Structure formats: structure tokens, C-alpha cells
Amino acid sequence: MSLSELYQQLILDHNRSPRNRGALEAPTHSAVGHNPLCGDQLQLQLQLMDGRVAEVAFEGSGCAISTASASLMTDAVKGLDKDELDELFAKFHALATGDESSDKLGKLGAFGGIRDYPTRVKCATLAWHTLRAALHGELGATTE
Ligand code: ZN
């Protein structure tokens, strides 16, 4: 199996059975994200404890790419503090839109091929923009 096939499997798997789907009982941060280009909707909740992500959950409806991206993102950010989250956001954004290589990003590298499909880039980055809006805004922040 080639690396790109492996990445495709990963995206299909996370779309079929998304991780961290649902709602938190006591979120400290939340945001709603919307990608009008594709119709993807995302609601993200975070619970920060001692400055680190203790719990994270998302709900929403969207295409396979946006759902898989939200699932993989929520897996990747647990335990990180704000600086680490900003750093990971920057790396993922560079991966999806520029020339960051995918090998430093583990499973998130699955989205390295998305830059060849400019109309889908926003599907892959929606969860990350929503994460950023949640972290830097109030409860109920929005990406728009
Ligand atoms: Zn989409």
C-alpha cells in the first residue's frame, strides 16, 4: 500500500467513525465554523485545564474531508497548551496550503495532498480555523 493510499484509508476511516464526536458537559471555549464553499458546518467545544486541552468534542455536518479533518484535529490537540496549538495550526495550514512536508505531522500528514485541490482546502482547514476562533475568542465564537 502506498503512502497516499494509506492516507486515503485514514481519511475514510475517520469520516466513517469520527473520534471525539459529541458535546462536552462543561466547555470553557467553543466556536462555530462554517465553510460556505462546501456547506460544511462545525461546532467545536474545548475544555481547558491548567492552560491545556483536557477535553475536546465536535458536532456538525459536512463532507468527508471536513469530518475526517475535525476528527484527526481533535485527536491531535489533546494535552497541548495554547502556544503548542498555535504552532500546530501554523504547521497544518502550511501543509494544506503551501509546501510544508507531511512527514513531521504524523496522521495529519494525510491532508498533504489537499493543496492540489484548492476548492477542498477550506474543508480540511475548517476545523483548525474553528479551533483558533474558540481559543482566541469567547464562548460561542465564530469563524465568520
Ligand atoms: Zn467540505
CATH code, 114: 3.90.1010.10
Protein residues with C-beta less than 5 angstroms from the ion ligand 1: 38, 40, 63, 66, 123
Residue 96 lies in a domain: yes
Mean pLDDT to the nearest integer, 104-111: 89
DSSP 8-state secondary structure symbol assigned to residue 38 = T
Residue 144 lies in a domain: no
The domain containing residue 25 runs over which residues?
Answer: 3-136
Residue 36 in this model has a pLDDT that exceeds 90: yes
Residue 143 lies in a domain: no
Q: Of all residues in the chain, what percent carry a pLDDT higher than 90?
A: 75
C-alpha cell of residue 73: 484535529
* CA 120 to chain CA mean position, Å: 14
Domain count, the chain: 1
Residue 21 lies in a domain: yes
- Cα(41) to ligand 1 centroid in Å equals 9
- Cα(89) to ligand 1 centroid in Å equals 19
Q: pTM for this one?
A: 0.92
Residue 141 lies in a domain: no
